[in-house]
A and B are shown apart, each in its own frame.
Chain A
């Protein structure tokens, strides 16, 4: 179990949700299919998950994509970012997901740890601005089919 104290930006709580750490920044408009809740570059679902992304980039239309995902019940549960701007916060407010900010470098050890795990990882993210906490636990082995 790894725990991190973060800065809470938008309130929300996710209990033991699948963790998805994206390699780069996230452009909700283009990278995510709002009809399916799928992150296109990796072909994986973001629905109900806790995402770790470096930042929100690209289109300023992102909050509407977040809103559409929420109305379809396909949005993420929570997002942890390293760089934050108004597009990220507005996306969380309209998308109804928790948003927390990590300091630069704070996530490196966690991400390296997650990558070493053979099994899937679950994240518990509680964001109560101004504070937030992220706890991640990974299974030693992949679950049985």
Chain B
């Protein structure tokens, strides 16, 4: 791989041990993939923040990096934690809070903004054509699809290394020639809710897990694009969608590309396939995966009301959000429920997917296909809810 004079000095250890380790990881990954050089980045987003994900060894890795003097060279944000960062927290234990605090402290010590969100695009909106190094597979797909910014799916430690080095390997979606759709999806079902958008993502990823799909007629609604992206990245590894009329780089795939039709019946079948519990048994309704922010107040209220229609036993509604949006989201939901129904709790800076899942109340109902996929994989019963009418009729 070609390295500039400065990059060679970084790799040699002349600029400190942390920079050397970061460069070593980036160059190893880049060379394995055939990258010709590195590229400077504007924003790094680090995944692998929850203690329940990275455990004792991940914590040691981060703390030793911070102690060795590592500092982030570019604007850096990080993913949600495994415990809620606020007084509303329903599932915290003192031991986990202590371990989680050590992880966050290490990240902030290295210079990260205190974000704790899987929606970094709401903290700093990426510019068209900008190079990023983002972990968090859903955010990666949103950056490429919605903003025309350029990032690969960076593994957690690679995004961390990119933050320290201020650059990443120039490969994959950083290159013009890779930003081309390879599957044509004909959407023949109406998509109005997050549930429906997520089911489309699941279906496409199930058939083409590592594809870059072109979709005609997808609604131009940021929140629905986010749900589609999150599901495609949880079921598969779809890093970028080309949505007609929505994505700045949308264009049909070359002739001869494979085709996939998605009909309403496919959404109903996918709903059954992803769910592993009966919605009528659900005790908690979980919303906000990916995180809702203050840009989603109306959407969150609509989704909560739609989801609650089929739920009889739900005691609490949990909403995940960045710490900075938590209070306004809670107020919006309380207003929507108008004093009736279940208790509303926000999970600031957290996410149930990355919590100590054995302690979650179950079954959990959710409008998030990504959440249902991960909870069901971990043995937590989860049911998908919240269709915008069409799906509910079929189920009933």
Q: Which residues of A contact B (CB under 8 A)?
A: 9-10, 24-25, 27, 29-31, 34, 40, 54-65, 67-68, 71, 83-87, 89-94, 99, 129
Interface centre among B154, B209, B237, B377 (most CB of A within 10 A): B237
- Of A10, A64, A71, A99, the contact of B48 (CB 8 Å cutoff): A64
Cβ proximity bits B125-169 to A, threshold 8 Å, 1 near / 0 not = 000000000011100100000000000111111110000000001
Contact residues, B1-43 vs A (CB, 8 A): 25, 28-29, 31-33
Q: In the complex, A61→B153 CA distance in Å?
A: 10
Contacting residues, chain B, for A83 (C-beta < 8 A): 210
CA separation between A144 and B135, bound complex, in Å?
Answer: 47
10 contacts between A and B (CB under 8 A): A9-B33, A10-B28, A34-B55, A57-B209, A60-B159, A65-B53, A87-B154, A87-B155, A87-B158, A89-B28
Task: Considering the complex, give the chain B residue whose CB is closest to the CB of A31.
Answer: B377
From residue 49 to 108 of chain B, which have CB atoms closer than 8 A to chain A?
53-55, 57-58, 61
Does the CB pair A90–B58 fall under 8 Å?
no
Q: How far is the CB of A144 from chain B (nearest CB, A)?
A: 35
Q: Is the CB of A60 within 8 A of B29?
A: no
CB distance from B96 to the nearest CB of A (A): 16
Which residues on B sit within 8 Å (CB–CB) of A58?
Answer: 137, 233-237
Closest to A28 in B: B155
The CA of A106 and the CA of B16, in the complex, are separated in Å by: 43
- With a CB–CB cut-off of 8 A, which chain A residues contact B57? 64, 67-68, 71
A9 touching B32 by the CB < 8 A rule?
yes
Residues of B within 8 A of A9 (CB): 32-33
Whether a CB of chain A sits under 8 angstroms from the CB of B220 is no
Instruction: For the complex, give the distance between the alpha carbons of A59 and B371 in Å.
Output: 12
B342 within 8 A of A: no
Residues of chain B within 8 A (CB-CB) of A61 are 47-48, 53-54, 135, 155-156
Cα(A85)–Cα(B137), bound, Å: 12
Give per-residue flags for B269-283: 1 if the beta carbon is below 8 A from chain A beta carbons, else 0: 000000000000000
* B121 interfacial by beta-carbon distance below 8 Å: no
Q: Confirm or deny: B188 has a beta carbon within 8 angstroms of a beta carbon on chain A.
A: no
Q: Besides the contacts A56-B237, A93-B29, what 20 more A-B pairs have beta carbons closer than 8 Å?
A: A30-B374, A57-B205, A57-B237, A58-B137, A58-B233, A58-B237, A59-B47, A61-B155, A61-B156, A63-B156, A64-B48, A64-B61, A67-B61, A68-B58, A71-B57, A85-B153, A86-B171, A87-B155, A91-B155, A129-B31
* Residue on B nearest A67 in the bound complex, by CB: B57
With known contacts A64-B58, A68-B57, A86–B154 Cβ distance under 8 A: yes
Residue pair A86, B155 in contact (C-beta under 8 Å)? yes
Q: Which of B33, B136, B153, B155 has the most CB of A within 10 A?
A: B155
Does B157 contact A90, Cβ atoms closer than 8 Å? yes
A65 to B58, CA, bound (A): 9
Does A62 contact B155, Cβ atoms closer than 8 Å? yes
Whole-angstrom distance between the Cβ of B85 and the nearest chain A Cβ: 19
Q: In the bound complex, what is the Cα–Cα distance between A17 and B377 (angstroms)?
A: 28
By a CB distance below 8 angstroms, the chain B residues around A92 are 32
> Given A60-B154, A64-B53, are A93 and B28 also a contact pair (CB < 8 Å)?
yes
* Chain A residues in 8 Å Cβ range of B378: 30
- The distance in angstroms between the C-alpha atoms of A31 and B234, with both chains bound, is 12
Whether a CB of chain A sits under 8 angstroms from the CB of B172 is yes
Task: Tell me how far the C-beta of B391 lies from the nearest C-beta in chain A, rounded to whole angstroms.
Answer: 25
> Smallest distance from the beta carbon of B50 to chain A beta carbons, Å?
8
Given A55-B210, A90-B158, A60-B136 contact (CB < 8 Å): yes
Given A57-B209, A57-B210, A60-B135, residue A86 in contact with residue B237 (CB < 8 A):
no
Cross-chain contact B156 with A60 (CB below 8 angstroms): yes
CA distance A92 to B235 in the complex (A): 21
Indicate the member of B25, B55, B152, B169 with the most A CB atoms within 10 Å: B55
Cβ contact of B29, chosen from A24, A90, A129, cutoff 8 A: A90
Which 7 pairs between the two chains have the least Cβ-Cβ distance? A90-B155, A63-B155, A57-B237, A60-B135, A9-B32, A64-B54, A30-B377
Return A82 CB to nearest CB of chain B, in Å.
9
